[in-house]
């Protein structure tokens, strides 16, 4: 199992956002997390990416415990950065650096990380060349070879999101996470981003997708979680959750999309 999540709880003040989340994933699976706004989906993603610290629970990747709230020790900033590399996060609003080109946005993190390595100190040119070659490859995969030198303000929303996906992939994460990847896009641009995600699924990229695109979630997912009020209300295969939901709350939620 590539990911094990158990007992994750998170509160902000008196508001309990996550109330005991448990699930696991195998390598190559695509997990879609659906649910109403405020159900805890984004907070869960932020906890997995160590942008928030859970109050309780455990997170393990490839059998290695990355977080255990019961542990008395707290990670240094350097250790935390290393743990984040297991996950790539694509934000709903892109979060590209406006002062950098598409190409620079994709290479920046790897260049910064490389400076602390022996390989960089021994052969700087070779390391930089490898990082740049990978960035060219990823932008080509995203259909953006002709946009490498464009700045974010010169790109459409769909193109910005594809740059953000390339940037996340450049770090070679074990699990790629998407937080509402199409919510900031015009409907006509949504399809180009969903196409890229579908192609990644076909390549057996392990992914967690928080989405309101129900038809897409049903088509692309190997597993679906429906969250409500900070808990997993129902989970199963797309056919089980969308076609034969067992919980009344799940049926109510899905009915709002059907209508």
Q: pLDDT of 235-253, one tens digit each?
A: 999 999 999 999 999 999 9
What does the pLDDT read at residue 3?
Answer: 98
- Confidence grade of residue 116 (pLDDT, cut at 50, 70, 90): confident
What does the pLDDT read at residue 71?
Answer: 87
**Model-level pTM greater than 0.75?**
yes
What does the pLDDT read at residue 258?
Answer: 60
What does the pLDDT read at residue 123?
Answer: 96
**HEC letters along the chain:** CCEEEEEEEEEECCEEEEEEEEEEECCCCEEEEECCCCCCHHHHHHHHCCCCCCCEEEEEECCEEEEECCCCCCCCHHHHHHHHCCEEEECCCCCCCCCCCHHHHHHHHHHHHHCCCHHHHHCHHHHHHHHHHHHHHHHHHCCCHHHCCCCHHHCCHHHHHHHHHHHHHHCCCCEEEEECCCCCCCHHHHHHHHHHHHHHHHCCCCEEEECCCHHHHHHHCCEEEEEECCEEEEEECHHHHHHCCCCHHHHHHHHHHHC
Q: pLDDT of 134-185, one tens digit each?
A: 999 999 999 999 999 999 999 999 999 999 999 999 999 999 999 999 988 8
Decide which of 195 and 73 is more confident: 195
Q: Over the chain, what is the mean pLDDT?
A: 94
Q: What is the mean pLDDT of residues 37-57?
A: 95
pLDDT higher than 60, residue 259: no
Q: pLDDT of 49-87, one tens digit each?
A: 999 999 999 999 999 999 999 987 877 878 888 889 999
């Amino acid at each position: 199992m590539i990911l094990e999540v158990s007992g994750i709880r998170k509160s902000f003040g008196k508001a309990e956002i996550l109330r005991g989340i448990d699930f696991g994933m195998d390598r190559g699976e695509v997990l879609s997390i659906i649910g109403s706004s405020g159900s805890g989906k984004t907070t869960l993603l932020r906890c997995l990416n160590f942008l928030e610290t859970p109050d309780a629970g455990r997170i393990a990747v490839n059998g290695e415990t990355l977080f255990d709230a019961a542990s008395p020790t707290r990670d240094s900033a350097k250790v935390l950065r290393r743990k984040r590399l297991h996950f790539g996060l694509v934000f709903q609003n892109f979060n590209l650096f406006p002062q950098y080109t598409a190409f620079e946005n994709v290479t920046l993190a790897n260049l910064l990380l490389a400076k602390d390595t022996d390989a960089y100190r021994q052969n700087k040119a070779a390391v930089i060349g490898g990082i740049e070659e990978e960035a060219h490859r990823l932008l080509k995969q995203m259909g953006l070879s002709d946009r490498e030198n464009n700045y974010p303000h010169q790109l459409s929303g769909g193109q910005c999101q594809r740059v953000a996906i390339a940037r996340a992939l450049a770090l070679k994460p074990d699990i790629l996470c998407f937080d509402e990847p199409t919510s900031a896009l015009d409907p006509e641009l949504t399809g180009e981003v969903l196409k890229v995600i579908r192609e990644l699924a076909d390549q057996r990229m392990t992914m967690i997708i928080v989405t309101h695109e129900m038809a897409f979630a049903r088509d692309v997912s190997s597993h679906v979680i429906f969250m409500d009020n900070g808990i997993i209300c129902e989970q199963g295969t797309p056919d089980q959750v969308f076609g034969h939901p067992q919980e009344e709350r799940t049926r109510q939620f899905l009915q709002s999309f059907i209508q």
